[in-house]
Structure 1
């Protein structure tokens, strides 16, 4: 009977320990996935949100620089020549193209991609308008060029800035969403870590119980051997 009891206890302990070990393995797997998701989220926040947000600041700066350069040429008494202002505008255009190329390489949600496409169209149209203003100036129609700059040019410039602002707002919204996702994953990881600690304590108690039961059985056997 005692041997039957011992075998039953060992089987129960084996089943319990096997279940606990399976739980530990599962927790480890889930923790690994949680850490992976956290790393992915933070990487995306940096690569796909923070860096493009900085690029958008530079895009805005280049657009304003173009606007001011052309305004200075058209409305001010300056020694700036047509060739010089054209060169300045081309330099800013190259910088804008490079920044847009960098932004396009990042992960974009559908709304971002749509607004970025619209922004590119606005910038392209504004660049064409600048070329038209310069041609008018080149043919001695600087007043007509100034009127176009202050009229249609001002409206198109504002449209470009509004598109850029919309992109910035989307960047902020998606970034907050990623932060919330990371916080959720972090909470899950903390929960799994606490669970693993609890499982380790249970394993320790089971081992102590087995040692105690083994001592009790050995103690009960001693009178039998003495007889």
Structure 2
């Protein structure tokens, strides 16, 4: 009977320990997965959201600089020549193209890609209009150039800025979503860590119980000596 009891206890302990070890392995796998997702989220926030957000600032700066350079040439009595202002605008155009290529290399959700495409079209159309204004100035039609700059040019410039602002808002929304996802993954990781600690405590208690039962059975085996 004692041997039957010992075998049953060992089987129960083996099943319990096996289940606990399986749970530990599962928790470790889930923890590693959670850490990987957290790292990916933070990497995406930096590479696909923070850096492009800085690029958006530079895009806005270049657009405003182009607008001011052309305005200064058209309406101020400066020594800047048509060739010089044209080179200034082309230099800003090259900078804008470079920034747009950098943004396109990042991960974009469908709404971001659509908004970026719209912005690129606005920038292209505005560049064509700038060239048209410069051509009018070169042909001696300054008044027509002024009217185009203040009329259609102002409207197209404002549309470009509004489109850029809309793209920035989308970037912010997606970044906030990634932050919420990271927080959720972090909470899951903390829960798994607490579970692993609890499992470790249970294993310790099981081992102590086995040691205690082993001692009790050993004591029962020893014969009593009468004086």
Q: What TM-score, normalized to structure 2?
A: 0.98
Deviations 1:14-47 (A, max 9, x none): 0000000000000000000000000000000000
**1:89-128 correspondence runs (5 A):** 89-128=89-128
Match of 2:171 in 1: 171
Q: Distance in 2 between matches of 1:113 and 1:37?
A: 24
Match of 2:50 in 1: 50
Q: Distance in 1 between matches of 2:142 and 2:21?
A: 82
Q: Distance in 1 between matches of 2:143 and 2:218?
A: 110
Q: What TM-score, normalized to structure 1?
A: 0.98
Q: Distance in 1 between matches of 2:19 and 2:52?
A: 48
Q: Distance in 2 between matches of 1:179 and 1:201?
A: 33
Please give the secondary structure, in 1, of the residue aligned with 2:136: helix
Q: Determine whether 1:88 maps to 2:104.
A: no
Q: Distance in 2 between matches of 1:179 and 1:7?
A: 53
Q: Note the C-alpha offset of 1:127.
A: 0.2
**1:157-196 correspondence runs (5 A):** 157-196=157-196
Deviations 1:100-127 (A, max 9, x none): 0000000001110000000000000000
Aligned length: 226
Q: Note the C-alpha offset of 1:142.
A: 1.2
Q: Distance in 2 between matches of 1:164 and 1:3?
A: 80
Q: Note the C-alpha offset of 1:203.
A: 0.2
Match of 2:11 in 1: 11
Q: Note the C-alpha offset of 1:91.
A: 0.3
Runs (4+) of structure 1 exceeding 2 A deviation are none
Unaligned ranges ≥5, structure 1: none
